[in-house]
Amino acid sequence: MAHEEAAKPGAGMKLVIRNIGLLLSGDLQRPILDADTVVVQDGRIAAIGHQKEVDTEGATRVIDASGTALVPGLIDSHVHPVAGDWTPRQNQIGWIDSCLHGGVTTMISAGEVHMPGRPKDVVGVKAMAITAQRAFAALRPSGVKVLAGAPVIEHGMVEEDFRALAEAGVRLLGEVGLGSVKDGPTARQMVGWARKHGIQSTIHTGGPSIPGSSLIDKDVVLAADADVIGHINGGHTALPDAQIRSLCEESPRALEIVHNGNERAALFTLRTAKESKQLHRVILGTDAPAGSGVQPLGIIRVIAALSSVGEIPAEVAFCFATGNTAHIRNLDSGLIEVGRAADFVFMDAAQHSAGKTLLESVRLGDLPGIGMVVIDGEVRSERSRNTPPATRVPKIVK
């Protein structure tokens, strides 16, 4: 595992990626772009087009995509990190590095709740959130951007606490419901204070995940009005279909489907969102580490499952874990668009997939083969050690 400081990634570098076979934008409105070349300057996308049209002079690095697909770096909207690349939940190290090999370039904390001896008093909650925010801002495990510092609300917190957290750089609330606040009115008041001070919130949805957590039903979710309806498909225990339908129809908030949830409820959510033309609200997470472990391929597994069993074009399913999340989470990554952070995954159909192309293979339920991952314009991994082998892989030619 390489642990590096996050300061000024990609500065002074010009990266040219040529011979791209398929360019997925991450944008639900236009998921496929007509281009074969992407130019990156100082870690940001500077140009997208055909090789003849864009300025490729003076490249400090050139990657031949070998006809593979270039996809925005995947965003895991729901993780529970604790400290660096170690998780006490299953006592594993290197789980974030493993997820990099599954195409994940950004992770968003839904609370550092697995911290052994997690403080529950207000001063301790704030101190731990600020510490996590600082630690993961300073240190990106294997280059992965971990947006952490997500306090879980507890009784006794007042507006001044949210103001102070925001002033200290905290931008997220951990899952509402994992702390002592489990009632709608109190949650709504605290979520409102958080929102007022620029802190985005997520709520636990469904039955308890582990002993000590509890049921949060649709009435509490609707009353709390958090920005993200966390694991709407349960973590793992899902709400009844009628309640999931209510959340899709009565709330305007993000519909987060997780790997560590109920698969049938995930498909029900997808179908309901599709019928009500709400696919732009669908975002993906793993909810790892958890009781069911860590899932390095969790995000691509959900993409392949939703596309194949949920009958969604693969290029649309990729948007759920990229552009949709970027829009809802106000990230500068997640889309292949000029000005965005140059976070990319090179993919191809896995060797011997029945699908002839990446999109066809995913539509058939196969996992893609990952050939390279780039974060802020820097190559972070080459052929994935975790996915089935990609048919073609990109080559670094300079």
Answer for the pair 105, 9: CB distance below 8 angstroms, yes or no.
no
Cα distance between residue 210 and residue 290, in whole Å: 9
185: left (phi over 0), alpha (psi -120 to 50) or beta: alpha
- Comparison of 108 and 367: residue with beta carbon closer to Zn ion: 108
- Comparison of 260 and 353: residue with beta carbon closer to Zn ion: 260
Which residues have CB under 8 Å from 6's CB, separation 6+?
Answer: 137, 138, 139, 140, 145
Taking CB under 5 A as the binding criterion, the range among 131-139, 197-205, 242-250, 336-344 that sits at the site for Zn ion is 197-205
Q: What is the smallest separation between the CB atom of 204 and Zn ion, expressed in angstroms?
A: 4
Taking CB under 5 A as the binding criterion, the range among 67-75, 228-236, 294-302, 321-329 that sits at the site for Zn ion is 228-236
Residue 282: closest CA among 231, 332, 243? 231
First to last CA, the chain: 24
Taking CB under 5 A as the binding criterion, the range among 12-20, 133-141, 147-155, 233-241 that sits at the site for Zn ion is 233-241
Residues in contact with Zn ion, counted by CB under 5 A, come to a total of 3
Q: What is the smallest separation between the CB atom of 205 and Zn ion, expressed in angstroms?
A: 7
> Which amino acid belongs to residue 180?
S
Cα distance between residue 171 and residue 174, in whole Å: 10
Q: Where are the alpha helices (DSSP H) in 58-121?
A: 95-100
- Comparison of 152 and 375: residue with beta carbon closer to Zn ion: 152
Q: Which residues pair with 52 in a beta bridge?
A: none
- Comparison of 16 and 226: residue with beta carbon closer to Zn ion: 226
Query: Should residue 380 be labelled a site residue for Zn ion when binding is judged by CB under 5 A?
Result: no
Query: Should residue 204 be labelled a site residue for Zn ion when binding is judged by CB under 5 A?
Result: yes
Q: What is the smallest separation between the CB atom of 59 and Zn ion, expressed in angstroms?
A: 44
Taking CB under 5 A as the binding criterion, the range among 120-128, 151-159, 204-212, 302-310 that sits at the site for Zn ion is 204-212
Taking CB under 5 A as the binding criterion, the range among 196-204, 241-249, 268-276, 293-301 that sits at the site for Zn ion is 196-204
Q: What is the smallest separation between the CB atom of 101 and Zn ion, expressed in angstroms?
A: 25
- Comparison of 21 and 207: residue with beta carbon closer to Zn ion: 207
Q: Which residue is nearest to Zn ion (CB)?
A: 204
- Comparison of 225 and 256: residue with beta carbon closer to Zn ion: 256
- Comparison of 27 and 175: residue with beta carbon closer to Zn ion: 175
Cα distance between residue 82 and residue 109, in whole Å: 9
Which residues have CB under 8 Å from 306's CB, separation 6+?
Answer: 257, 266, 267, 270, 312, 317, 320
- Comparison of 154 and 175: residue with beta carbon closer to Zn ion: 175
Q: Which stretch of DSSP H or E encloses residue 75?
A: strand 74-79
Q: How far is CA 272 from CA 6, 193, 248, 309, 396, in A?
A: 40, 31, 7, 14, 43
Residue 157-176 contact track with Zn ion, rule CB under 5 A, x = bound? ------------------x-
**Angle subtended by helix axes 184-196 and 159-167, to nearest 10:** 40
Residue 52 CA, chain-centre distance (Å), reads: 34
Indicate which single residue of 10, 73, 235, 285 sits in contact with Zn ion (rule: CB under 5 A).
Answer: 235
C-alpha count within 13 angstroms, C-beta hemisphere, residue 360: 6
Q: What is the smallest separation between the CB atom of 266 and Zn ion, expressed in angstroms?
A: 15
- Comparison of 78 and 380: residue with beta carbon closer to Zn ion: 78
Q: What is the smallest separation between the CB atom of 242 and Zn ion, expressed in angstroms?
A: 21
The residue to which tokens 């308890």 are assigned: 208
Ramachandran angles phi, psi of 330, nearest 5°: 55, 50
Query: Should residue 234 be labelled a site residue for Zn ion when binding is judged by CB under 5 A?
Result: no
Q: What is the smallest separation between the CB atom of 41 and Zn ion, expressed in angstroms?
A: 40
Q: What is the smallest separation between the CB atom of 233 and Zn ion, expressed in angstroms?
A: 11
Binding site for Zn ion (CB under 5 A): 175, 204, 235
